Amino acid sequence: MTASTLARADIAVLGAGSWGTALAIQLARAGRPARLWGRDRSHVEAMRRERSNVRYLPDVRFPDSLHLFDSLEASVDGVDDVLLAVPSHAFRSLLVQLKPMLLSSIRVCWATKGFELDSGRLPNQVAHDVLGPGRSVAVLSGPTFASEVGRGLPTAMTIASPDVDYAEKLAHDLSSSTFRAYTSTDITGVEVGGAVKNVLAIVAGLSDGLGFGANTRIALITRGLTEMTRLGVALGARRETFMGLAGLGDLVLTCTDNHSRNRRFGLALARGTNVEAALEEIGQVVEGYQAARALRVVAAREGVVMPIAEGLYSVLFEQLPVQQVVQGLMLRPIKPEFD
């Protein structure tokens, strides 16, 4: 690999799971050369040899302008942008590791979804804690499955940043004939949508797995959207954000399609599989499982009522029977729908 080749690779995607790989492929496909970093050296070497991520996206070949790295420091050396695509529990630690390697001019974006478990903070708040003010940051979110992005199927998502120019630049970098990125300045709203939808997708999987029917599923999605919006507005988000791709769009996708790990986790629980075995069955991080615990803390802190999310917490961590939770939801006091 020549120095001139590396000089073109001006965005580093950190995290070689399915989503990080798909984003690196899309960036390279759209004309933005990308570096893909993975923590597992043997996995990176296998990807370099096969020119594909056999573990997570086996049927997708890497573009020539996608380069593989197992050294974090080398992967960010000389880049203009860094994109983190790691689970929420690993987000802060990777930022801490990354901070001394980042020039002040390097912009940082992420595709991480979920509240930090211990603090209940959103990714943009964690990034501010670690990196401080003054750096351009953004979040990528929306109704996207990695396998479909990797295969080049038509997809749309949202890029949110307080820096309008940065959001627009990332949108142009990612967009192609099969991928369209929209921009937003509501980074809090976009991140709340990405965090809450995973919890609700587990509920939808449980409901469908128990045979509760289409009426129940759509009621859960609709009332779940209300809970998501209520929390987001309390945290300072704009209400209209939740009617967009990162709110309603992502919620419907993860609640209704079995590509969703969170939905499949709920389906497994409905079959009688215990939590540990269901997590092992999925084989990848089920963000909604720990998010249910964090979401309960955040909702209590903000004084926001979220009965569906609270019900799932009771099922996962207090061993309350699902039927009892459903009955409790149905017997809640009558109130106006938009209250």
List active site positions.
197
DSSP-derived pairing of the beta strands 81-84 and 107-110: parallel
- Residue type, position 296, single letter: R
If we measure between CA atoms, which residue out of 76, 82, 132 comes closest to residue 101? 76
**CA dist 24 to 31, 61, 152, Å?**
11, 12, 12
User: How far apart (Å, rounded) are the C-alpha atoms in residues 283 and 38?
Assistant: 18
User: How far apart (Å, rounded) are the C-alpha atoms in residues 232 and 192?
Assistant: 6
Token couple for 48 = 């370099």
User: How far apart (Å, rounded) are the C-alpha atoms in residues 192 and 304?
Assistant: 13
DSSP 13-60: EE--SHHHHHHHHHHHHTT--EEEE-S-HHHHHHHHHHTSBTTTBTT-
User: How far apart (Å, rounded) are the C-alpha atoms in residues 221 and 228?
Assistant: 10
Residue 92 CB partners (closer than 8 Å, separation 6+): 116, 126, 129, 130
Token couple for 90 = 């690993």
**CA dist 160 to 114, 121, 193, 309, Å?**
15, 17, 12, 25
If we measure between CA atoms, which residue out of 139, 131, 120 comes closest to residue 191? 139
